[in-house]
Amino acid sequence: MLISKSKKIQKGKEPNRILITVHVVGSAGPIRFIVNEDDVVADVIGRALKIYARDGRLPVLGSDSKDFLLFCDAAGSDFLDSSARIGSCEARNFLLCKNPQPQLKTEDVKKDQGRHKSCWKGIQVMD
């Protein structure tokens, strides 16, 4: 009994481990796994994507953690910085979603459409 107590005291120097819940936008249910409080947000996103893919969940998300943002339920609408520690927000529930891609302006789309129409004029159909 005394030996196990002394081991617990020595292990007290290790970072605390916490169980977190990550909800993925478009997925049926959350992912739960254990992380260290000192883990970086980018590593947590990568681990969540690996677990998501290993479970065979849909929709298929990909594996690049740079394409995703992690939101903290308690922090409101701000996403967590990828270099921040996961324990810094003092929460256990998170939301994972894809990083929105920049949208093209309608002027750029119209310019692209004009270029594609001109290529069809040069094709001659033989009867």
At residue 120 the predicted structure's pLDDT band, cuts being 50, 70 and 90, is low
Enter the pTM of the model.
Answer: 0.69
At residue 117 the predicted structure's pLDDT band, cuts being 50, 70 and 90, is low
Separation between Cα atoms, residue 60 and residue 107, nearest integer Å: 32
Q: Could you report the per-residue pLDDT of 42-90, keeping only the tens digit for each?
A: 999 999 999 999 999 989 998 899 999 999 987 677 899 999 999 998 8
Q: Which of 27, 94, 108 is nearest to 61 (CA)?
A: 27
Domains, the chain, with CATH or none = 17-98 (3.10.20.90)
**Average pLDDT of the residues of the chain:** 82
Separation between Cα atoms, residue 88 and residue 116, nearest integer Å: 51
